[in-house]
A = this chain, B = another copy of it.
């Protein structure tokens, strides 16, 4: 393995993301997922891998609804993630958040969000904190191309620029917002230009070279650390439907077939071999380890117990406060009047 390359690591990250998402699909098929609102990042691994790897340990982030990949890239534990997606007690959020609200404060995951654009201003606030507290941290908001049409993004960009915050806005442009192709949602398609006009430093990634993407992303992140906020757009393709139930009838098979050929993982694998960074056996070994890891995660998630019913009432207010009174208690009290 060459020492001046991160490609093996980046490959591994992408592969782990893909394998993880496969397990999410499996969990669903097994009837073990909490609901069907499972948004897979299959095919989009380059973004999470390059930006996720470029971030430092102390950095934080928010994600959109399609955030599993990003969290995996940032060290998320597949066990606790799958358990969360299954709505189980051992999940990151005790199963109360599910796929769209995974969070882990220890790893700097300030939360996934089911509201398109909802988690974007969070990083502005984090940036305010880090700058004020003189902590050398960057906070990154990940979101889709759809969120480029949410006004709060521009409010947030302006704030980051105005207050020179250590913040990066990262758009994973997978060409679709649900069933709507980007051309049907965007009047003029140059997202970097939008971000520039708000004073951000920009980066537009539109190829499969994850290492290059990583190097460039690192510059943006490090500039942000020096209070020049940035914007990264990573173009990719959503390989499958919007959520687990969607078969994408609104786009044609040819497009899917063609676009799926632009597979960042295949590309990285070929590069690894071509440049003698890893041989086939080494790659197989990596892949196998990943599969094992994910097998264990599956088992963990499925075996994880469900919550006690009382869990409904916990975490609404702080631990010091009494739990909200249940409706049952309220009603019985009234009936006893």
Contact = CB atoms under 8 A, between A and B. Distances in A.
A160 to B, nearest CB: 7
A162 B186 CA distance: 6
Interface string A128-160: 000000000000000000000111111101111
Interface stretch (A1-9, A195-203, A312-320): A195-203
A328 interface: no
Interface string A185-199: 111101001101111
A112 B150 CA distance: 24
A161 interface: yes
A154 B194 CA distance: 10
B160 A155 contact: no
A161 B188 contact: yes
Interface string A174-217: 00000000001111101001101111000000000000000000
Interface residues of A, number: 26
A227 to B, nearest CB: 12
A194 B149 CA distance: 14
Contact of A153 (B151, B163, B199): B151
A187 B160 CA distance: 8
A46 to B, nearest CB: 25
A198 B190 CA distance: 8
A162 B152 CA distance: 19
Contact of A188 (B190, B193, B198): B198
A197 B199 contact: no
Given A196-B193, A196-B197, A197-B194, A162 B150 contact: no
Contacts of A194: 194, 197-198
A151 B149 CA distance: 9
Contacts of A188: 161, 197-199
Contacts of A158: 149, 186-187
Nearest to A185: B162
B197 A193 contact: yes
A160 B149 CA distance: 12
A187 B193 contact: no
Contacts of A153: 151, 154
Contacts of A150: 151, 155
A161 to B, nearest CB: 3
A151 B155 contact: yes
Contacts of A185: 162
Contacts of A160: 187
Contacts of A184: 162
9 tightest A-B CB contacts, nearest first: A151-B151, A161-B187, A188-B199, A162-B187, A193-B197, A187-B199, A194-B197, A154-B154, A197-B197
15 contacts: A149-B158, A151-B151, A151-B153, A151-B155, A157-B187, A159-B187, A160-B187, A162-B185, A190-B197, A193-B193, A193-B196, A193-B197, A194-B194, A194-B198, A196-B197
Given A157-B187, A159-B187, 7 more contacts: A160-B187, A161-B188, A162-B185, A162-B186, A187-B198, A188-B197, A196-B197
